[in-house]
Structure formats: structure tokens, C-alpha cells
């Protein structure tokens, strides 16, 4: 408080001294140049110069304020521009996650144009445009991303291929990925996208050709790769059998595909099952029975045992005898019991067939066993039990039948 009074006293004293100086001697200033003439007192001139200096200084301060402020004074300043971009990023990412595609595209495109590292925003905007069906605009956004960040070519191409796949342009996606595969042959992501695309297209031969690279570059976990390999070869067997309308030609094609497998692969139950099933559909049941018998002797598999009962080999009695030999080690396998029932039906052993089918149903309620036993009982005259089994088999085939509404029975 004392300091304030001291300053106030100094200001008053200075003003008083200035007033005395002005009163004692006003001074005189004359400026003349050609037709210009300025004439005034010294103190008035000094006051004018002070005002001019204050105006200049005030203008400078105002300009600086306009160029640097981020508040109300200048909404287009650098700080506010950065803030608007950040808001666009936040809104765009949220819109993209929540499926508001038009808003996401608008916000992310704005953010991409303003940012120095715009890749992720261009990719997001391209995805949003793709979801809206604006495919040309989506591609243009990716091209713009490549112009701004050419070093991100692989990432942009992978995103482009995925967007092409999403719009069902699998041919375009394949071309994109093949180009990237040539330029980046050891890219795990390129390999994985190629593998998924070949699967989606049903091109299992291409998947098989890709398997060595998937294994070499460890693009998939070992268990997943092994399962993919089994499925690819199995699907390839199916396609080979169906490649020609002529059954004989289809059989030759199927056998060639089977011979392409390694000895170890020809012992895989899943591949043996696919091969034997195609042989059965082509009418080569004798060959299929021999293949299954050899495979089951090497390693028992319930799925192979089930298919064995659908085949008619060259010697049905021997076929039944072989299958009964497996029963010693697998007495509770419902698929094997079903197979034995079917083989007994082939040999007209009605009572034995009924026993095996009843045993299969005791272990597991199965629609196939229900149907086989129902057919047999209908022929044996037990129509009531036969109808019950047919109904049970239908329910087992699709349990959703239980939830469907039914009409109210009419009262007689």
C-alpha cells in the first residue's frame, strides 16, 4: 500500500513539474517543406509524437494478437486450426467405430489434409467411403494417401485389397495382392491376405501352391497351418472329382489328385475320408472300401468307420466280419454300431441289424440310426415304433423344429 502512495506522489510531482515547465516556457517548433508548413509549441509537438508512437505500438500489438491468439480474437489462428483438426480426428475415429460412415469420411478427410502424417486418416476415410458405396472416391483417397506418404505403399495396398474384397471385387483384390507379393515376397500380411482370398474364391489349388511360403515365412501358427493344409488337399480332391461331367474322367482326375499327396498325407483320416467319399459318389465303392479298410487298419477313426457302412464292397460278408473286429476295441462307438447295423442290413441279417442299431441309439441318439431302425421296423411290421423313430430323427436333424408353432388339433 505504501508503495502505491509513493508511486502516486511521484506521478503527481512529475505532472506538477511538467505543468510548471510548460507554463514557464511553451517553446516553438516550425517545420516547413515546399508547400507544407507546420507550426506549433514544443509541448504540443511532443504530445503529437507521443500519440503517434502509441498508435504505432498499439497497431503492432494488435497484429501480434491476431496472429498468435487461439481464443475469440482470431478463430483462424494456428492454435485454433490445430484444435479443429484434433476435434475432427476424435469425431472421425468415433464415427468410424460406430458406423456413421458419411460423418467419418468428412471428418477424417479433413484431418488427413491438415496432418503431416495423414496415412491412418486417409485409410479411415477410404473405408468409410467404401462402406457408402463410393468406390471411386475411396480409391481416390488411397491414391492421395500414396502421394502424401509414398513410403507406405504396402500398407495402402493391403488396405486397398481388403476394401476391394469387401466390395466383392475379388479379381481386383487378387491383382493388388499379387503385385505386392512380387514386391514384398516375404510379407506375412500379404501371404495371409492372399491365403484368405484364395479360400474365399474357392481356389484350393492356389492355396496349395501358397502353402510352402506360408510355412517358410511362418505366416500361420503350426496347428492352423496343418489344419489349412488338410482342408486344402481335401477340398482339392472334391474339386478334382467334380471337375468333369464324365464319371470316368472325374475318377481319373480324382486319382491323380490323390497321387499328388505324400505318403504321410494319404494316412490322414480327413484326407482319406474326402477321397473315399468322392470315390463313393463316382460309383467306385469297391475301391473306396479297400481304401477305408486299409486306413482303419492303420489307425481307427470314427468318421471313417461311419462311411465304411455306406459302402458295398466286393464281399459284404467279409466286410461285416472286418467291421466286427473293430468292435472289440471300440464297443461304445455309436458310428461303428451304426455301420454294423447297415452292413447287417446289406446281408439281410434283420435281427442282428436291429440289435446293432438299438445299441447305437443307446449310446447316442442319432438321426441316421433313428432313420435306419425306423425303416427296418416298418418292414418288420412295428409301424408305431417306426413312426416314433422317424419323428425323433426329424427333431434331431433340426432341434429348431421344437420352437416352431403348430396348429391346434381339430376336435372331431
CA-based nearest residue to 257, from 228, 280, 234, 289: 234
CATH 1.25.40.10 fits 317-398, yes or no: yes
d(CA 183, CA 186): 9
Q: Does 72 have pLDDT greater than 60?
A: no
pLDDT for position 404: 61
pLDDT for position 169: 95
Lowest-confidence segment of 50-54, 69-73, 168-172 by average pLDDT: 69-73
CA-based nearest residue to 156, from 112, 93, 212, 195: 112
Range 128-144 average pLDDT: 95
Residue 18 pLDDT level (bands cut at 50, 70, 90)? low
Range 190-194 average pLDDT: 96
pLDDT for position 310: 94
CB 235 within 8 A of CB 201: no
Q: Does 71 have pLDDT greater than 60?
A: no
CA-based nearest residue to 110, from 215, 44, 102, 309: 102
Express each pLDDT in 261-273 by its tens digit: 999 999 999 999 9
Residue that wins the pLDDT comparison between 408 and 365:
365
pLDDT for position 44: 73
Q: Does 412 have pLDDT greater than 60?
A: no
Express each pLDDT in 278-318 by its tens digit: 999 999 999 999 999 999 999 999 999 999 999 998 999 99
Task: Tell me the three state secondary structure of residue 219.
Answer: coil
CA-based nearest residue to 229, from 246, 215, 208: 208
CB 170 within 8 A of CB 164: yes
Lowest-confidence segment of 96-105, 194-203, 277-286, 389-398 by average pLDDT: 389-398
d(CA 148, CA 138): 16
Amino acid at each position: 500500500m505504501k508503495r502505491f502512495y509513493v508511486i502516486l506522489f511521484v506521478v503527481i510531482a512529475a505532472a506538477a513539474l511538467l505543468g510548471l515547465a510548460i507554463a514557464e516556457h511553451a517553446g516553438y517548433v516550425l517545420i516547413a517543406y515546399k508547400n507544407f508548413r507546420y507550426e506549433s509549441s514544443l509541448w504540443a509537438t511532443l504530445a503529437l509524437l507521443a500519440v503517434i508512437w502509441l498508435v504505432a505500438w498499439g497497431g503492432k500489438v494488435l497484429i501480434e494478437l491476431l496472429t498468435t491468439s487461439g481464443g475469440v480474437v482470431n478463430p483462424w489462428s494456428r492454435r485454433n486450426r490445430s484444435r479443429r483438426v484434433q476435434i475432427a480426428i476424435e469425431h472421425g475415429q468415433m464415427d468410424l467405430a460406430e458406423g456413421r460412415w458419411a460423418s467419418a469420411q468428412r471428418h477424417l478427410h479433413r484431418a488427413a489434409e491438415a496432418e503431416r502424417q495423414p496415412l491412418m486418416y486417409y485409410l479411415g476415410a477410404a473405408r468409410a467411403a467404401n462402406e457408402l458405396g463410393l468406390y471411386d472416391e475411396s480409391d481416390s483417397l488411397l491414391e492421395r494417401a500414396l502421394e502424401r506418404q509414398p513410403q507406405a505403399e504396402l500398407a495402402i495396398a493391403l488396405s486397398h485389397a481388403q476394401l476391394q474384397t469387401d466390395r466383392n471385387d475379388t479379381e481386383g483384390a487378387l491383382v493388388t495382392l499379387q503385385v505386392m507379393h512380387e514386391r514384398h515376397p516375404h510379407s506375412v500380411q500379404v501371404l495371409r491376405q492372399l491365403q484368405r482370398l484364395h479360400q474365399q474364391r474357392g481356389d484350393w489349388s492356389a492355396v496349395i501352391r501358397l502353402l510352402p511360403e506360408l510355412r517358410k515365412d511362418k505366416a500361420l501358427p503350426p496347428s492352423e497351418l496343418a489344419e489349412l493344409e488338410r482342408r486344402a488337399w481335401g477340398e482339392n480332391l472334391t474339386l478334382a472329382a467334380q471337375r468333369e461331367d464324365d464319371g470316368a474322367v472325374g475318377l481319373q482326375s480324382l486319382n491323380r489328385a490323390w497321387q499328388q499327396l505324400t505318403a504321410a498325407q494319404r494316412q490322414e483320416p480327413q484326407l482319406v475320408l474326402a477321397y473315399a467319399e468322392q470315390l463313393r459318389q463316382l460309383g467306385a465303392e469297391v475301391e473306396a472300401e479297400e481304401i477305408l479298410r486299409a486306413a482303419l487298419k492303420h489307425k481307427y477313426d470314427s468318421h471313417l468307420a461311419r462311411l465304411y457302412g455306406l459302402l458295398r464292397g466286393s464281399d459284404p460278408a467279409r466286410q461285416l466280419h472286418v467291421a466286427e473286429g473293430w468292435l472289440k476295441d471300440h464297443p461304445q462307438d455309436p458310428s461303428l454300431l451304426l455301420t454294423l447295423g447297415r452292413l447287417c442290413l446289406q446281408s439281410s441279417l434283420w435281427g442282428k441289424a436291429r440289435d446293432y442299431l438299438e445299441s447305437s441309439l443307446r449310446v447316442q441318439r442319432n438321426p441316421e440310426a433313428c432313420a435306419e431302425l425306423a425303416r427296418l421296423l416298418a418292414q418288420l411290421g412295428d409301424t408305431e415304433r417306426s413312426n416314433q423313430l422317424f419323428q425323433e430323427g426329424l427333431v434331431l436333424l433340426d432341434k429348431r423344429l421344437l420352437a416352431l408353432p403348430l396348429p391346434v388339433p381339430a376336435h372331431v
